[in-house]
Structure 1
Amino acid sequence: MKKKIVILGFLGTQLDGGPRTAGRWEKWRPSVSLLQHEDLMVDRFELLASALHDGLARQIEEDMQAVSPQTVVQRHTLPISDWWDFEDVYSQLFDFARNYPFDTENEEYWVHITTGTHVAQICLFLMTEARYFPGRLLQTSPPRRAGPGNPGEYVLIDLDLSRYDQIAQRFSNAQREGVEFLKSGIATRNPHFNLMIDEIEHVAARSRAPMLLMGPTGAGKSFLARRVYELKKARHQVDGAFVEINCATLHGDGAGSTLFGHVKGAFTGAASDRPGLLRTAHKGLLFLDEIGELGLDEQAMLLKAVEEKRFLPMGGDHEVRSDFQLIAGTNRDLAREVAAGRFREDLFARINLWTYALPGLGERPEDIEPNLDYLLAQFGAENGAMVRFNTEARQQYMRFAASPDALWNGNFRDLSASVTRMATLADTGRITAPIVAAEIARLQRQWRPLAEGARPAASLDNLFDEEALEQIDLFDRMQLESVISVCLQSKTMSDAGRKLFAASRLGKAKPNDADRLKKYLARFGLEWDQVS
């Protein structure tokens, strides 16, 4: 049995309205005209209106019944005070839909979106898409040639996008193109890495929140951050520049000045105003690599800038604004840095919403070969010469690259340098077995000190036996663990001492940080070589 057709729509105070004269039949009126289509049999029309337009609603009802006596017209008065208030309109429509006796087995519902305010039309669209109105959208348009009895045209819009293969395919293609762009077209094979890039593409397209990229040096944090920026710019989500800084290069007053800028005379040598990198990144993306190296003061200023988009330049009395998006990079475990008091907990919480750990090259052996091809193509584009491996040479290099003997401590930087050397030596455009053998020997020499020097990192468990450890108070144990952590991250004993005694050394005419650290370690029978 064919279902009955029921139309739900707003009274059009402008399109349906007009003087109550014979001339009104010369005008196209969407609600009335719908019932004038000879091929359309409407069983019922639910006419939604406000009490303010009760007279017009009655007139339209009479005219609708005059042109289609078989159609039942039911007027519904909605208590909407402001038809341009989204919350008010949506709430009233929601209540109407919840109480309406829909009978989808016997009735087919068409939701008319041509009449009503734009807000009302949007609400109808959203509620139909969400299936609060279990029907299809109905759109009408006036006739190309005006005249009595010409009802214009109507079209039904089905919101089931799964039926529109071409539309679905375009969305799928756009997402796939975004993922390939982030990977620079490299056909990576590591499942974990590919899933991570899929999510980063999704987040980059929908979020302005900070992103944190973790991973060892050379894992590609800077490269990925720039690709995220370029993807956002291509999609018109940023208008400004990509600004990058390695926080490990920032020290003292220069750190605050570089990031937040300064006013003239803020400190010795400040001969003119400086905008700072945060202002340079306005409407763009700021990449702070090695963010764990920032001082606590700079961390506090950065938190305010990220949360409020405003901050004080050094020496300034007036705040400045900068609406930038932030990506941070680090090779440290920031959670441990927070526990040790070296990184602000509130800043970590703010940048830890979207956190991704980039695996090193050694953790992605299956991705060495596609990256090898990418680097060779990149070398060829930059130098105007195509370079390829001989079959034997390629197999020889891949056997070594994926073996335990290949440390790849510099990750993709090591691989890039290796490919550049071999491609440069390939006189005829072919990388041969002798070139590969020489490169493998070079890499082994480069990594030998690391392999020979590898030993467990200093910790209380491997510095003291169980009996000796029990003799150390918990307070001293926790303090000693923090001291050892700083020593492990420092190149010399003096460097470690400067970090550990940064505050108290300012009050000494001749600070001897190395001596102070040496005496502290001696209290526990330790020496620098054991904890460095």
Structure 2
Amino acid sequence: MRTNIIQKGTRSRMTFIKTNDLNIKGLELETLYEIAKLIGSALDLDKALNKVLYILNKRLKMERATLLLLDESGTTLKIRASYGLTPEQEKRGIYKISEGVCGKVFRTATPFVVKDVNSEPLFLNKTGARKNLKKGTISFIGVPIVLNNEAVGVLTVDRLFGPNISFEEDISFLSVVATLIGQFLLLNNAIKLKHAKLVEENLDLKAELQSKYSFPNIVGNSKALRDIFKIIKRVAPSTATVLILGESGTGKELIARAIHQASDRANGPFIKVNCAALPENLLESELFGHEKGAFTGASSKRMGRFELAHGGTLFLDEIGEMPISIQAKLLRVIQEREFERLGGTKTISVDVRLIAATNRDLHDEVSKGRFREDLYYRLNVVPIPIPPLRSRKSDIPPLIDHFLRESNKRHKRHVTISKEALDILLKYNWPGNVRELENLIEQLVIMSETSRILPQNLPMYINVDEKVACSNHRPPTRNEGHNEETVTQATTLKELERREIISALARNGWIQARAARELGLTQRQIGYKIKKYNIKFPWEYEN
């Protein structure tokens, strides 16, 4: 019962006050109940806090309620929620912890009452929300919000000043509300920490999955490349044999490595054999190994690539070049998972995931009797065709950026490419695919006398009329050879031959033997023509 405001009067007056006190107590309990129900919405802290202040106003006529919280600097109190203030007034409600009533409540962690806001020098009214109110009618109450014995904020309300107001009871009630608000803050912090932990765990999981199933060494984002990524993700966890099909220089080895890295064998070895780089007798020994004395020069026992790849992946590049005599032995290993070394009798069992690649049409090779049909079907379990670069030109700009970064880093340069030069490279058909593009960028970075690649810096076989650039630099047919337009665009047959040799070299990684085989020349003939036309290789240029 509010004994501090009872004046002299009749018994009926005291009965009225007792009844009024009971009504106020009931309102306060109902208010606390409504506020307590909001704890479930603590995730949306601002909404919950504003709702608390709204309830204080509607239930108990507490005006211009504000909730100030300590900001990240630890020196300033800012309004986090309010009721009865305009957005402009709320923005002005910023207090140093060393100033005003709010600062004093925060520093002392003790409630403070201003019975008349117009007569209290500590009351700053920074928000300007009380300028037009009558003097002597407003009281101001502030209570601290405490967590773990430390003030974290201040709850304030305005009260109409009058003889029937008990500041002690208001302070007691608002202190309970402040305690509830403190629990809101505590719960919200716990939810935020839990959420942050879940986000961190999610990011870690994504990073783990990305490291396992992403392909950082494969540059490009064309639809064709994205479709290949989908196939890789599906086939990688299996043990199925994969056949990668595509022109020279399209990046078949990168695809093979991506499959290996995304598989359960990622921690095992990845062994590569180029079937076109070795003669028949050496290729057999390379694949299956040999015993000491198996042939002239076999002075010691040697493990083959199948043994070295045990528990991992064996990549047979250019398998279309494999001699048909070795194809039969390879078929047995694929079927039985076992073999014998050259000159040996002991059967060796291996657990190897096989990936093969070729730039040939193996089906056509089968029909011509140059490739075993049964081996073809054993290899062609999951075919992955890689489109040439000319059919996925949206990959050219990111590839150029990637190769520029790598070449600049390697040669300590800072070379960029102009839009005009890039446009020309986009029109070129890239018969040597990604390998040709990589070699060209390397050459341009090395040879560039300025920090920017311009159209005039591009090689003649690229920086030509668009019609020639789009012709894929093939030699003219018998009928085309006499076409006036062709003669005009490529002034001489010698220039056409020079361009064709450069394109063949680029397509084959500047390996003369391969380029000669593609052009139907001997190594001696292509060497003579390289010298005749003064064709330089990328590594022959000096920085």
TM-score, normalised via structure 1 length: 0.48
TM-score, normalised via structure 2 length: 0.47
Considering only CA atoms, is the larger Rg found in Structure 1 or Structure 2? 2
